[in-house]
Amino acid sequence: MAPRSLLLIILVVFCSKITAFQCNNKNKFSYPNLFPAILIFGDSTVDTGNNNYIPTVFKGNHPPYGDDFPGQVPTGRFSNGKLVPDFLASMFCLKETIPPFLTPNLPDKELLTGVSFASAGSGIDELTTAVSKVIPVSRQTEYLKEYIHRLTRIVGKKQAQKIVSEALVIISAGTNDFIFNFYDVPTRRLQFSVYEYQDYLQSKLTKFIKELYDLGCRRMVVSGLPPIGCLPIQLTLKLSILRKCVPMENLDSLSYNTKLVKLLPRIQQTLPGSKLFYADSYNRLLDMIKYPRKYGFVETSKGCCGTGTVEAGPLCNHLTPVCGNASEFIFWDSIHPGESVYRYLTEQLVKDLLPYFKPKAV
């Protein structure tokens, strides 16, 4: 038997044992054999630690980040615990967490079931990353090419193509573009109206989706914008004394999302064999903020870290006190939701995804 064939058999057996183990856990949401892998692109909402390995101050690899992660380890996730990609991996019985692609000496078995290429602080607009030096969304395809090359070396070209084509692809980006380029640092506002900037971003997003398609991706989930005007940092910067959401910024998010919902089917028509799914983070997060007690939350306008009004990234550190019970706070820091929110959003996303992606019974 050829060495490569033997290696492939060993890997398949090993991965099947992993799948069986994960599907026997206590998570009541388990959907095995739906996707062979998960591939993640975007910003801090889905970056599981890539920024740890690039020269930028946008890092979450220090306490108190990771306070509720297994082992209380600060992994680079901008949260007290797991993110949506991690919960998806567990629900689809692939593994407990999604590793960042830039992890040195990443084991082959991790590549088989998926990685994150996302970078905290990233955006669809390359200008968003000009100062922070994080990885723009447009450059994350270069890492996908490297991933495919490594995957091909492990399982061969045909199997690598199969994994990529059947993988669940998540794209979550756009919030930083508006915060860093339009609202708080009005660089693009000198060039575009808000509606023109929405169109500009979505034209670049269209190009990105087509690049993923050309590299073999077929099953893609594209997240809309959250209610940006409700992020604690925006309440602070807009001097909202009563800590109420900024209406115009929320309307802009809603307008962007409305356009995106119409855009994705048009893109899909041009990409034979593709499936593009819109993920609604706006309405679900806004409902939590409006009716927190329905979800078990108490605080909606401040993060758990420090004062909760400005702390994020390097400002949320081991010297910063944290709240007593993070599960009562919608936000972990002044920008990012906590693990409890991500868990709920993932469960709702999976419920929406199943009818769309689940194979029809023969």
Q: pLDDT tens, 23-51? A: 544 556 788 989 999 999 999 999 999 99
Q: What would the two tokens of residue 336 be?
A: 């990012």
Which pLDDT score, from 0 to 100, does residue 12 have? 43
User: Taking residues 105-116, what's their average pLDDT?
Assistant: 97
Mean pLDDT of 257-264: 98
pLDDT for the residue numbered 7: 43
Indicate the pLDDT class of residue 360, thresholds 50, 70 and 90: low
Q: Which pLDDT band holds residue 240 (cuts at 50, 70, 90)?
A: confident
- The radius of gyration computed from the CA coordinates of the chain, to the nearest angstrom, equals 20
pLDDT above 60 for 132? yes
Which tokens go with 300? 């909606």
Q: Which residues contact 328 (CB under 8 A, 6 or more apart)?
A: 296, 297, 298, 299
Whether 362 has a pLDDT exceeding 90, the answer reads: no
Contact indicator for 274, 268 with CB cutoff of 8 Å: yes
Residue range 254-269: average pLDDT? 98
Q: Is the pLDDT of residue 212 over 60?
A: yes
Share of the chain above pLDDT 70, in %: 91
Q: Are 58 and 129 contacting, i.e. CB atoms less than 8 angstroms apart?
A: no
- Quick: pLDDT tens for 185-196: 989 999 999 999
Q: Which of 132, 333, 334, 340 is catalytic?
A: 333
Domain range list for the chain: 3-231+239-283
333 is catalytic: yes
The per-residue pLDDT for 2 is 45
What average pLDDT does the structure give for the chain?
92
pLDDT of residue 23: 57
Q: Are strands 219-223 and 114-116 parallel, antiparallel or unpaired?
A: unpaired
Between 36 and 361, the higher pLDDT residue? 36
Residue located via tokens 């797991």: 82
Active site residue 336: yes
Structure confidence at residue 359 (pLDDT): 62
Spot the catalytic one: 79, 253, 336, 340: 336
Q: Is the pLDDT of residue 361 over 90?
A: no
Q: Over range 99-113, report the average pLDDT.
A: 97
User: Rounded to 5 degrees, what angle do the CA atoms 47, 53, 54 make?
Assistant: 95
Instruction: Please write the tens of the pLDDT for every residue from 162-181.
Output: 999 999 999 999 999 999 99
Measure the CA–CA gap between 217 and 164, rounded to whole angstroms.
6
Whether 149 is catalytic = no
> Is pLDDT of 311 > 60?
yes
| pLDDT score at 27 | 52
Asked whether the predicted pLDDT for residue 6 surpasses 70, the reply is: no
pTM of the model: 0.92
Catalytic residue among 44, 274, 281, 301: 44
Q: Which of 32, 35, 68 is nearest to 343 (CA)?
A: 68
Question: Mean pLDDT throughout 225-248?
Answer: 94
| Residue 133 tokens, joined | 């030096």
Instruction: Report pLDDT digits (tens) over 328-345.
Output: 999 999 999 999 999 999
Question: Residue 275: enclosing H or E segment and its boundaries?
Answer: strand 275-279
Span 3-231+239-283: which CATH code?
Answer: 3.40.50
